[in-house]
Structure 1
Amino acid sequence: MIVTRGSRLPLYLAVPVVVLLAALPYLVAPPVTRTLVGLFALVVLASMWNLLAGYGGMISVGQQGFIGIGAYTVLLTDIAGVSPFVGIPFAALVAGLLALPTTALVFRLNGGYFAIGTWVVAEVFRLVTVEFAAVGGGSGASLTGLSALGPTLRGAVTYWCALAAVVLAVGVVFAIMRSRLGLALTAIRDDPTAADSLGVRVTAAKRLVFVVAAAGCGVAGAIIVLDSLRVQPDSIYSVQWSAFMIFMVVIGGIGSIEGPILGAIVFFALQQVLEPYGVWYLVVLGLVAIAAALFARRGLWGLATGGRDVRFLPTGYRVAGSQGGVSGGGSP
């Protein structure tokens, strides 16, 4: 990865922002930080789906399978008598490990068949989970290992874990896209056959991205269950999670790091404002998605930047000038 002033600047700007966010439990009321936990989980999910589809060219509607795996991994650590917070890294590990054999199946499919295949795999995960009475079967189960912590402390630690997950998710995507793997993904997304003919290890690159995205979704699932203190299979394995991810990335701007973050913020705001209105909540989400597809094809981030290639987190490369070299630029 080549480090330039353009790639260092986001780090300089991000550090004080992250420090301020980390201090929020000391500055605001607990309901505020608990609300932000939900937003952080959405940002992680949007970033992972964008890595998978926007950069890797793999349109999945089955990422909820790995969200559920992450949530149930935390539940299992709780049942084993270990702090559920310790289960967060295990959630990433288990989801990533399960993603490896999953690629052997779904990588045999292309296009819409790949999307449906991932959905089928997620449904298999759900069906297997409900067969185990130890984790509550079809009715689910609640976390009990956090009962010793006071609500304020529990909420603060959950918030810090969610914030760390966001920083790690965005940082991993940024690092990948600034590396040679990022250049390979760009070629694969544009034309896998041409990329293969040029020596790019297409399957290996796609497999690595699929595993990373699955691990990230596992972490998001862990955060979700830590926030709600209960996991239920029909909810955590619901395809609505993939629908939410697609919505956030599409309206925010696919193929950029900033777009999914903006999309997650907009989606979260719509959730908070419209959820009391029942079915109208879904109607408005649909109208927003249609409007974005018609009038902001580069997403809200592209609309906000006036169609110019403006990036706070540059992931592409361009010729620096007559002296050669490369620098962080626009999209790959």
Structure 2
Amino acid sequence: MTAQTVPGTEATALPAVHRSRRATVLGLTGTAAVLLAMAALPYLVDSGVTGQLVKLCYLVALASMWNLLTGYAGMMSMGQQAFIGLGAYLLFVVNDHGVNVYAGTLVVSALVALLAWPLSYLAFRLRGGYFAVGTWVIAEVVRLIVVRFDSLGAASGRSLSDVTADPVLRRAFTYWLALAVMAAAVLGTYAMLRSRLGLGLQAIRDDDTAAGSLGVDVTRGKRTVYIAAAAGCAAAGAVICVNSLGVASPTQIFGVQYSALMVFMVIIGGIGTVEGPVIGALAYFLLDKYFAQSGVWYLVVVGAVAIAVSLYLPRGLWGTFAQRTGWAVFPVRHTVGR
């Protein structure tokens, strides 16, 4: 006897969710090749070239962290300089306790992540524009606390005491550190967005109330991103400190200009994309390299670029390109089909 299906009991096949595995493999392979080529630069080019690329690396890291906060979690922070400054000053602390500055960068990132956890409870009491202002206030409070410690140079800043004496080796090690921080920021962001948390973040960004009603743990997702971005900014701050052999001024390392730079780079490159901050950081790096000595014209050029992109390419350089071509180096989209 042949089994028959009772009408009304047929199983309904759910649509399958696919990811572009081929595009992912190609993107990661290309990224690995670029990183390996960049890692070999100290053996191939003058140390002055790698010295300039250190700035590009930490700019990419900073832009990626701000994009993770705002572009994917919907948190408009104007106080990430708090964690940049903490990263630099905590490097003095761990260095004074015998930890090498290069290994100390990892320690500093972990310490700042721990500090960001209680700070998140304070910041998350605010929403929207109040959150942006509140994070800036937190950064100022952190700066005022740090400058009260004479061992950290008080209001005058201080220099590192344990850095490789050979200038060639120091520049090479600093470059490799900056490259590692950049790679961790970009690939870490991509890995997070490819996870279950990444799906929740995009729902939170669009409408956190609706996301919560669908079962997304909004507060946990935002706190995870907030802590991760703090750790990334701290690592970038440590790189800035190592590259400058210290901190010349606490006002500068805790300056709001870093948040302004992050906003500029992400808007120029394309907010809400993994590649956008990289393109935006590269664009700013080139503008700074070729126009920084032009006085007031430097600000004119930077402002003109920002206005032009905002008006004619509201999705940013990479965002517009990706929209028109559908191409991505780091695909995070999901395709629904049978």
TM range (shorter): over 0.9
Aligned counterpart for 1:202 among listed residues 218, 227, 231: 218
Aligned counterpart for 1:186 among listed residues 178, 202, 206: 202
SS in 2 for 1:175: helix
Report the Cα offset of residue 2 of structure 1.
Answer: 6.4
Q: Per-residue CA shift, 1:251-282, capped at 9, x if unaligned?
A: 10000011110000000100111111123222
* 1:47-62 correspondence runs (5 A): 47-62=64-79
Report the Cα offset of residue 95 of structure 1.
Answer: 1.5
Aligned counterpart for 1:94 among listed residues 105, 111, 114: 111
CA contact (8 A) 2:56 2:281 kept: yes
* 1:1-332 correspondence runs (5 A): 4-146=21-163, 148-231=164-247, 232-305=249-322, 307-319=324-336, 321=337, 324=338
Q: After the TM superposition, which of the residue ranges 254-263 and 304-313 deviates more from structure 2?
A: 304-313
SS in 2 for 1:181: helix
Q: Per-residue CA shift, 1:271-305, capped at 9, x if unaligned?
A: 11111112322222112111111010010113344
Structure 1 residues 3 and 91: CA distance shift in structure 2, 3 A: farther
CA contact (8 A) 2:28 2:330 kept: no
Q: Per-residue CA shift, 1:150-185, capped at 9, x if unaligned?
A: 000000011111111111111111011111101100
Report the Cα offset of residue 195 of structure 1.
Answer: 0.5
SS in 2 for 1:96: helix
CA contact (8 A) 1:47 1:170 kept: yes
User: What TM-score, normalized by structure 1, do the two folds share?
Assistant: 0.93
Q: Per-residue CA shift, 1:183-213, capped at 9, x if unaligned?
A: 1001100111101011100000000000000
CA distance in 2, matches of 1:3, 1:60: 32
The equivalent of 2:12 in structure 1 is none
Report the Cα offset of residue 106 of structure 1.
Answer: 1.0
CA distance in 2, matches of 1:87, 1:3: 38
The equivalent of 1:328 in structure 2 is none
CA contact (8 A) 1:77 1:86 kept: no
CA distance in 1, matches of 2:237, 2:216: 33
CA contact (8 A) 1:195 1:202 kept: yes
CA distance in 1, matches of 2:128, 2:106: 32
Q: Match of 2:333, as an amino acid?
A: G
CA contact (8 A) 1:258 1:313 kept: yes
CA contact (8 A) 1:106 1:117 kept: yes
Unaligned 5+ runs, structure 1: 325-332
The equivalent of 1:329 in structure 2 is none
Q: Match of 2:59, as an amino acid?
A: L
SS in 2 for 1:249: helix
SS in 2 for 1:210: helix
Report the Cα offset of residue 6 of structure 1.
Answer: 2.1
CA contact (8 A) 2:88 2:238 kept: yes
The equivalent of 1:327 in structure 2 is none
Taking every aligned residue pair, what percent have the same amino acid on both sides?
Answer: 51
SS in 2 for 1:200: coil
CA contact (8 A) 2:80 2:139 kept: yes
Higher relative contact order (CA 8 A, sep 6+): 2
CA distance in 2, matches of 1:102, 1:280: 39
CA distance in 1, matches of 2:295, 2:161: 31
SS in 2 for 1:99: helix
CA contact (8 A) 1:302 1:308 kept: no
Report the Cα offset of residue 306 of structure 1.
Answer: 6.1
CA distance in 1, matches of 2:214, 2:265: 33
CA distance in 1, matches of 2:98, 2:212: 48
User: What TM-score, normalized by structure 2, do the two folds share?
Assistant: 0.92
Unaligned 5+ runs, structure 2: 1-17
Runs of 4+ in 1 over 6 A off after TM superposition: none
